[in-house]
Amino acid sequence: MSTPNLIDKNIAQIATIFPQCVTETKDNNGNIKKAIDFDLLKQELSSKIVEGNKERYRLEWPGKKEALIAANNGLNKTLRPKIEDSVNFDNTQNVYIEGDNLDALKLLQENYLNKVKLIYIDPPYNTGKDFVYKDNFTVEKKELLADSGLLDEYENKLLKNQDSNGRYHSDWLSMIYARLKVARNLLKKEGVIYISIDDNEVHNLRKICDEIFGEKNFIRNVIWEKKYSPANDSKVISDTHDHILVYAKNISEWTMKLLPRTEEMNKRYSNPDKDPRGPWKPGGLSAKTYSPKYDYPVVTPSGKTVYPPTGSCWQVSQEKLEILINDNKIYFGKEGDAKPQIKQFLADVQNGVVSKSIWKYDEVGHNQTSRKELTDLFDGEFLFDNPKPTTLIERIFDITTFTKNDIVLDFFSGSGSTAHAVFKYNLKHKLNLHFILIQIPDRVTVNSVAEQKGYKNICEIGKERIRRAGAKILKEHKDKEGIENLDIGFRVFKVDSSNMKDVYYKPDEIRQDNLFEMVSSIKEDRTDLDLLFQVLLDSGIELTLPIKEKQIAGKKVYFVDYNVLAVCFEDNLTEEFVTSLAKSEDLLKVVFRDSSFGSDDSRINVEQIFKQYSPNTQIRVI
């Protein structure tokens, strides 16, 4: 009897948390085996660069450790609501976030940890023409870039990643690595990610995804035929496809949905002999492997003797074949003298078909499909380069096993194709998928059609596209049953600095003229709603839960998801108010502003009142 190899078990356990830390090495006999990359594991557990010199199999590039640190480091930012840009803010379950997607993904870590069913992203391709994110600069370089107009409002560098740049691949790899690493945490255990990419970086992206998601969780490299005709001016083989890399978070938990059968597929079945079991098609009866037992002559109805192909045999024994013949399940051709084939009945075929790895443009759309979608929404104007067709994203949805209220995430959302696809898919299949879209507000090209039409950045185009798509769907399907329940809204947020002041005073710096400022640690330009959503982020509560505003003893209170959370930021809270609030039914948590209490005694009094009337309610003060 042998005991389990505990080292292998420990490696497997580490792999569930840090799949990127599992690598390959050789044992003393030269055999390849799984091992832990301790340098990388140390780096995962450290905010400083950990040096290591042992060789191992993995993708390396200058800046990789900095990208890992960028992914792991915390940040002092928040999400502020933009109600004026939103649609159906009070009732929608969809979210649109403006800002650096790395910051946004970090801010969502507590609220949406293990909650996202599907991620689809179409990141900037590293073509030398696209803008890329650059996450870390020295102060001197920041100032230089700001003076040159190359920093956006979030202090992210926006530049063309020219192939003359010595870090041409490294900059792009660092950008995508950090974001994928953080995004993985949001996926459900049965979740899946689809990443569109072209030939420039698909080889490197595959290695990065193998590291982040685990090589065993690779599903397929889907080829999408993005053009319906070759480029005749191309000097080499015409580029007519893109890649879509597909990875599961945990391949053992992921299940693929079958595509519906098409009329074309069913046309292959007929019923020339009027078999009561319905339409059928002939299938081969010869086996791929050879067995003497299944190598025998067969006499056809016409009296002709036939044999299996040379070097092969039949799939069934002679006795089994006789049973099939008597059951009218063997076909000998129109003249009754051909080699036997088994009748495959349409009724026995599964209700769907497995998706192929090549997606043709006539099935899922092409670049011109998406161009027309966008121009139709914007009165014939084309405002955004290279959007993806909603039909392509819907194909991804088609092979995903969704459950009620599943979340779709797109953190390179561009023109908003993913949101549009969610609207269409929910309408068609009567589902209730929700989306989270994230996009940095890149400036539109100077003198472009978009700028001439008044759009300043990509986010403005994306939000307007989603508004118009939702309105168009409601108009075109106004008589469809249940259309009133279709959620075509979205709550807009922007990544911003923390709501809390970051100014601290030493005792000898305190002056009478700044004592008043020190009363509150909250920035003056922040609203109650800003603070409310900061509380939701800090509490790990989803951003789309219903919020109701009520008056209690003359004070404004926000109730989130009925009684999950109550928040009051009013000053001079009275004992009458606190008592009334404490008597609210099943109140789980309350949050007050520090300035709501005139003294420590009144703060202690609040705690005593809640202990008396609602002892299980958590109390927090910001």
For the chain, what percent of residues have pLDDT higher than 90? 68
* CATH T-level fold of 76-260+355-496: Rossmann fold (3.40.50)
**Whether the predicted pLDDT of 28 surpasses 50:** yes
Distance CA 555, CA 573 (A): 8
Per-residue confidence (pLDDT) for residue 145, from 0 to 100: 45
Query: Is residue 467 predicted with pLDDT exceeding 70?
Result: yes
Are 548 and 558 a contacting pair, CB within 8 Å?
yes
**Residue with tokens 């997606």, as numbered in its chain:** 359
Give just the sign of the alpha carbon dihedral 454, 457, 458, 464: negative
Which band of pLDDT confidence, cut at 50, 70 and 90, is reported for residue 313? Answer: very high
Q: Between the CA atoms of 390, 248, 409 and 377, what dihedral angle is there, to the nearest 10 degrees?
A: -10
SS3 content of the chain, % helix, strand, coil (to 5): 35, 20, 45
Q: Tell me: pLDDT of 482 over 80.
A: yes
Sorting pLDDT into bands at 50, 70 and 90, what band is 137? very low
More reliable by pLDDT, 258 or 9: 258
pLDDT band at 516 (very low <50, low <70, confident <90, very high): very low
Longest pairwise C-alpha distance within the chain? 114
Tell me the average pLDDT across 598-617: 87
Most confidently modeled range among 3-7, 81-85, 146-150, 159-163: 81-85
Average model confidence (pLDDT) across the chain: 87
Q: Which two tokens stand for residue 579?
A: 């008592």
Residue 121 pLDDT > 90 = yes
pLDDT category at 520 given cuts 50, 70, 90 is low
What is the mean predicted confidence (pLDDT) over 147-167?
A: 50
Indicate where the chain has its CATH 3.40.50.150 domain(s).
76-260+355-496
* Per-residue pLDDT at 283: 95
Helix axes 64-72, 168-184, angle to 10 degrees: 30
- Write out the two tokens for 214: 């685990």
pLDDT at 440 over 80: yes
Structure confidence at residue 141 (pLDDT):
41
